[in-house]
């Protein structure tokens, strides 16, 4: 009996320790998700040869890929601690404003302007293949997005009354042009800004494309589209570079659009639009110009970070109010998989921000 009682007590102790361990993990998890992150610029990486770095991709495991001017790219390993600069092709004039890493070691680089090209690498940027070349001499590609490791999409400005949506279903090995009757923005008044590679966002099969003055929606990975108008301030009508410039979706019912006037960084009228409860709401305390936005993982859709010519901003209420973190002008940003590090790009520079 004494032996059985000892075994029972031991089992009870182990059980209680297990319960307390779960509670401890739960409490720590809750604390980490509810605490407001405080950021500081920890490091600056000079990448002068890349010029304006308007697209940065992250593989979720510590590798970053950045696109630059004149065909130059940079690959950062060990969470950006080490960078390798290389050129896709000799004498390449491409400005890669859209890049992606849909699966390990598979890099994509898309050029804006002419020639409009799509490149793919399967060895983390060591060698490249040309997968698509515009034959019309008209295309201007603004953004690249992969829904998964197989399906992806390129969005470009409408030209010559023709849609500029390209889709792939074989991890970028081939690309098909979407028929123009499925996606037909008004080419005289609406276009995209290749400013951050965040015009396209998705959750599941649902896809958004933010053009300068409108939002297009698809429920089938970009095969068919409907238009939802966004009433932007009238003062943007005369802006040379103004309108929507970035988007992000948290889930099927929550998302955000960002933009503003590139040439007026401090102008902050309706620069953020928040989607919740099946309706759109304009920011209450708005940032200046921001071209990119992301939801930080681990905060239940409450904490967002946005960046643009006005600097880097943070929201802790789902995007309704914003506080400036730094006035460093940036083009695009991305976070680590855990949300404890942000990498932002500028002209010839990359910044690493960490929580204090």
Is this structure's pTM higher than 0.85? yes
Split at pLDDT 50, 70, 90, the class of 239 is: confident
Q: Is the pLDDT of residue 17 over 50?
A: no
Domain check: are 263 and 346 in the same one? yes
pLDDT tens readout for residues 215-230 = 999 999 999 999 987 8
Q: Which helix (H) or strand (E) holds 155?
A: strand 152-156
Domain check: are 83 and 29 in the same one? no
Q: Is 52 helix (H, G, I), strand (E, B) or coil?
A: strand
- Predicted local confidence at residue 188, as pLDDT: 66
What is the average per-residue pLDDT within 263-270? 96
What is the average per-residue pLDDT within 201-227? 95
Domain check: are 19 and 160 in the same one? no
What is the average per-residue pLDDT within 109-119? 94
Report residue 261: phi and psi, to 5°. -110, 115
**Which residue would you say has higher pLDDT here, 356 or 174?**
174
Token code pair at residue 140:
């201007």
- Predicted local confidence at residue 29, as pLDDT: 36
Q: Is the pLDDT of residue 244 over 60?
A: yes
Question: Could you tell me the CATH number of the domain that includes residue 314?
Answer: 2.130.10.10
- Residue pair 245/193 in contact (Cβ under 8 Å)? The answer is yes
**Which residue would you say has higher pLDDT here, 196 or 185?**
196
| % of the chain beyond a pLDDT of 70 | 88
**Domain that includes residue 2, residue range:** 1-35
Report residue 265: phi and psi, to 5°. -55, -30
Domain check: are 51 and 29 in the same one? no
């Amino acid at each position: 009996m004494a032996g059985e009682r000892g075994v029972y007590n031991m089992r009870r102790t182990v059980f209680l320790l297990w319960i307390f361990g779960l509670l401890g993990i739960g409490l720590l998890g809750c604390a980490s998700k509810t605490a407001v992150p405080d950021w500081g610029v920890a490091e600056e990486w000079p990448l002068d040869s890349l010029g304006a770095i308007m697209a940065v991709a992250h593989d979720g495991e510590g590798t970053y890929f950045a696109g630059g001017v004149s065909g130059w790219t940079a690959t950062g390993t060990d969470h950006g601690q080490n960078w390798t600069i290389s050129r896709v092709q000799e004498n390449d004039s491409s400005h890669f404003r859209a890049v992606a890493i849909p699966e390990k070691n598979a890099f994509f680089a898309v050029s804006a302007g002419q020639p409009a090209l799509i490149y793919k690498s399967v060895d983390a940027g060591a060698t490249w293949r040309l997968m698509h070349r515009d034959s019309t001499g008209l295309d201007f590609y603004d953004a690249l997005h992969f829904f998964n490791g197989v399906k992806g999409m390129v969005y470009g400005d409408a030209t010559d009354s023709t849609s500029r949506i390209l889709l792939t279903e074989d991890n970028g090995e081939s690309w098909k042009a979407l028929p123009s009757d499925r996606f037909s923005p008004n080419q005289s008044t609406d276009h995209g800004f290749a400013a951050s590679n965040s015009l396209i966002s998705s959750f599941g099969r649902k896809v958004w494309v933010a053009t300068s003055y409108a939002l297009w929606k698809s429920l089938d990975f970009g095969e068919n589209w409907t238009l939802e108008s966004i009433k932007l301030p009238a003062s943007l009508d005369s802006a040379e570079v103004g309108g929507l410039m970035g988007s992000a979706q948290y889930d099927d019912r929550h998302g955000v659009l960002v933009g503003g006037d590139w040439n007026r960084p401090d102008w902050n009228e309706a620069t953020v639009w928040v989607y919740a409860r099946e309706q759109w709401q304009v920011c209450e305390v708005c940032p200046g110009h921001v071209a990119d936005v992301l939801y930080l993982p681990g905060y239940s859709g409450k904490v967002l970070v946005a960046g643009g010519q006005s600097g880097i901003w943070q929201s802790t209420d789902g995007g309704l109010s914003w506080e400036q973190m730094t006035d460093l002008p940036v083009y695009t940003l991305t976070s680590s998989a855990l949300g404890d590090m942000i990498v932002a790009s500028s002209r010839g520079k990359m910044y690493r921000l960490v929580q204090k």
